[in-house]
Amino acid sequence: MSFRNRLRFEHQLAALVGLLCLALVGATVGGAVWLERQSALQLAEARLVRLAAGMAETLDATLSERFREIQVVAGLAPLREHWIGDPSVTRSVLAAMRTTAPDYAWLGFVAPDGRVRVATDGMLEGVAVSGRTWFETGLVRPNVGDVHEALLLNRLLAHGGADPLRLIDLAAPVRDASGGVIGVLAGHLSWDWAARVRRRFLDEGLPGTDLWVLDRRGRVILGPHLGTTPFGPARIGAMVEQASGSFAAAIGGEARLAGFASAAKGGRTDIAAGDPGLGWFVVATRSEAAALAPVQRPVQALIGLGGTVALIGIALAWCLGRRAAAPLRRMTVAADRIGRDAEATTLPRLDGALEFVALSAALRSLLRRIGTVERELSVAAAHSTRVADFYRRQIEDLRQVAGTDALTGLLNRRGFVGPAENAFAQARSGRCGVAVLVADIDHFKHVNDQHGHDAGDAVIRHVGALLADAVRSSDIVARFGGEEFVVLLVGLGAADAALIAERLCATVQAASIACGGRAITVTISIGVAAVSPRDPDIQAAIARADAALYEAKARGRDRVSLAAAIDEVERAA
């Protein structure tokens, strides 16, 4: 038995030291591998950010140059008498502009009545373009339109690409010497220009890199899968907030790294005043596996070195276990002889093993300490009960705080869930009607850009207070994040909810927000949806109200849009 116990102790001691050695080596090697991988990922993300920023700057610079060019030519005093004079002179000016910048698919001068008077290659001359956004806006001020498919020019221009011809509209008013508008100078910039920029940057980037251009809503306007939205609203909002940065995401079922940068003014401060920002984002992506490929061999070398060190440590642990167990083996043999051998009356004195001598004294004092410990445990248990009650109350207070928006004092998304589900249950049972309003502050980014984020926070607080004061105490107002609010109207149908929404829009429009000695006015757009018994949950009604909000935004903002009932949607389908 003693032999087996001796071996067991040695094995346990050797295993303990060996495991400690393995843990230290594993932690060291694992930490080194992790640092190597993180360094590679950070380097790859930095490269992607630089690539996206380079393409964004190129797009920005070219678009700004074309925009300024249209304005400069439209304002040249020597050309004033030629715009409405000899068409050949105007046509030669436009041809020269197109020769200088071949990316123009079309340039033309449009009379105030909306008919194209002169154009490059005579295309669309005499055609009425009144009603087009670029023309109507160009009569008032210079403007740049977002990317869109060509309508009239698609049939006239030879476009060799597989995708339809897409254009960016640029326009500026042409004025006579007295300042009166005599027409609009317009240019349609071919989006193929951006495709060529993309190909050039892809050629300069690392293998496996892809480049996308997203519009302000996150839809792909350049790159694979045109028209899709690869990222959710939260990610798009973070990109708008940061203007430039990196992140990792699963794209197409593959772990990829992404670097992004805003384009078309999104964050630049050196663009001339009046140059509108289109809110584009350039996103450069690369698979995580490709980014980590260069560090695979160093990682394998580190793992091999760690394994070798671990084996050496285990061998040393075995030797240490045998050496440490030797005094205990001698002590065990001596104790076994006591009572068997008349000459064995005492245990041997072991040099460096004072713990063995003190063992019996420690055992006798153990029982005395047990009684003391029991009394201390009783006191500690009572104290623990009091502490647990205290923390339970603290947790309840924290749970209450977690459901409140810190900026406005309204409910946040978490705090909104409980009351909203209760109201939804009442609506499903038919006890009362419930309507949902989703409100969003119009052009809130302009408030932040023009007045600063402190003013933006003041606007959010003020609008939240106006909404809360304008509804009944039984209604629920919550801030869902950013400049978006949700109002739950209990006991009302869609028609009454729409009237209340109109009143809320008017209230916000009439209010003036004082901040830093300035008065700021804003408007809101509201989507309205009534909860239907066929809604699976309250989120379905919120989603319909949110869709109606986007419709209100699209129709010009500062208005209310009522979501269609589920029955109407199904009949329309």
Residue-wise pLDDT for 342-376, tens only, equals: 666 666 666 555 555 554 445 345 435 654 665 67
Of 288, 207, 291, nearest in space to 253 by CA: 288
Q: What three-state secondary structure class fits 489?
A: strand
| Report field, pTM of the whole predicted structure over 0.75 | no
- Assess whether pLDDT exceeds 90 at residue 179: no
| Under 8 Å between Cβ of 221 and 230 | no
| Under 8 Å between Cβ of 251 and 231 | no
- Residue with structure tokens 């490269």? 47
Residue-wise pLDDT for 317-341, tens only, equals: 677 666 666 666 676 777 777 766 6
Range scoring the smallest mean pLDDT among 160-174, 291-305, 429-443, 536-550: 291-305
pLDDT number for residue 553? 93
Averaged pLDDT, 372-385: 70
What's the token pair of residue 378?
Answer: 């009783």
pLDDT band at 478 (very low <50, low <70, confident <90, very high): very high
What does the chain come to in residues? 573
Going 29 to 32 to 37 to 38, the CA torsion angle's sign is positive
413-572 CATH, one of 3.30.70.270, 3.40.640.10, 3.40.50.300, 3.30.300.340:
3.30.70.270
User: What is the phi/psi pair of residue 469, to 5°?
Assistant: -75, -25
- Assess whether pLDDT exceeds 90 at residue 550: yes
Of 541, 470, 542, nearest in space to 510 by CA: 470
Between CA 344 and CA 393 the distance in angstroms is: 66
- Assess whether pLDDT exceeds 70 at residue 413: yes
- 423 vs 170 pLDDT, higher one: 170
Between CA 171 and CA 318 the distance in angstroms is: 84
Of 12, 13, 2, nearest in space to 334 by CA: 2
- Residue with structure tokens 């001598």? 357
Residue-wise pLDDT for 55-107, tens only, equals: 999 998 888 899 999 999 998 888 888 888 888 888 888 988 898 888 898 99
- 178 vs 345 pLDDT, higher one: 178
Between CA 186 and CA 174 the distance in angstroms is: 10
Residue type, 236: I
Share the mean pLDDT of the chain: 81
- Assess whether pLDDT exceeds 50 at residue 1: no
